[in-house]
Amino acid sequence: MTLPATFDTERLRFQQPSADDAPAVFANWATDSEVTRYLVWRPHQEVGTVTAYLASCQTGWDKGREFTWLLRERSSRQPIGAVAARPNGHRIEVGYVLGRRWWGQGYMTEALRRLIDECFRHESIHRVWAYCDCENPASARVMEKSGMIKEGKLHTWAVHPNVSSIPRDCWCYAITRDQYAQTPRPPSL
């Protein structure tokens, strides 16, 4: 499976990350304990950790296992967050993160809708899914506004180390190809 290295929405550019992006990623979200609260990694303490992560993103692209894009404001070209797609047979798991300064402005809903569009361009994909901690209603709302449907609770599913070392319950959201075809979609660029 291949996905494009760059694509756009009205306000965002999806772009493969590079090592040069490390300082902006570090400053804009990777160190923020509120942003990382329900993620599977702890806030980064040094920019070198971000540099190593961005190198692993390239490895994911090279092996076709995980495709990560930085989200850049088209107006400022500044990276404000990231999204990832992890293909596995007929399904793709997606994940996302957004810097706190950009919360509440519809950026992540815009990005997730566009990523779902891109995933379903591949005839072999029949399901796009994601999960969020049961105590993270903001993330759940982003998935709902993006057209995904809550399918149920995944008990003791994921460790969110910034909350607990014990696996936590998560909500599973998904959209299938049939549901996608029946859902009115806002225009994408």
* pLDDT at res. 183: 82
* pLDDT at res. 1: 80
Helix or strand or coil: residue 16?
coil
Residue 146 lies in a domain: yes
Cβ–Cβ contacts within 10 Å for residue 5, how many?
11
* pLDDT at res. 29: 97
pLDDT in tens, the chain (189 residues): 889 999 999 999 999 999 999 999 999 999 999 999 999 999 999 999 999 999 999 999 999 999 999 999 999 999 999 999 999 999 999 999 999 999 999 999 999 999 999 999 999 999 999 999 999 999 999 999 999 999 999 999 999 999 999 999 999 999 999 999 998 766 544
Q: CATH number for the domain including 143?
A: 3.40.630.30
- Take residue 9 and report the two structure tokens written for it: 């929405």
Range of the domain at 162: 6-182
Number of helices and strands in the chain (H, E): 5, 8
Residue 21 lies in a domain: yes
Residue 84 lies in a domain: yes
Closest CA to 58 of 68, 72, 49, 48: 68
**Cβ atoms of 131 and 139 closer than 8 Å:** no
Non-local CB neighbours of 174 within 8 Å, separated by 6+ positions: 127, 128, 129, 130, 148, 149, 151
Rounded to whole angstroms, the Cα distance separating 26 from 45 reads 9
* pLDDT at res. 184: 76
Rounded to whole angstroms, the Cα distance separating 140 from 151 reads 12
* pLDDT at res. 189: 42
* pLDDT at res. 187: 55
Residue 70 lies in a domain: yes
Residue 138 lies in a domain: yes
**Phi and psi dihedrals of 60, rounded to 5?**
-60, -45
Residue 123 lies in a domain: yes
| Number of separate domains in the chain | 1
- Take residue 37 and report the two structure tokens written for it: 């609260």
Note the pTM of the prediction, 2 decimals: 0.94
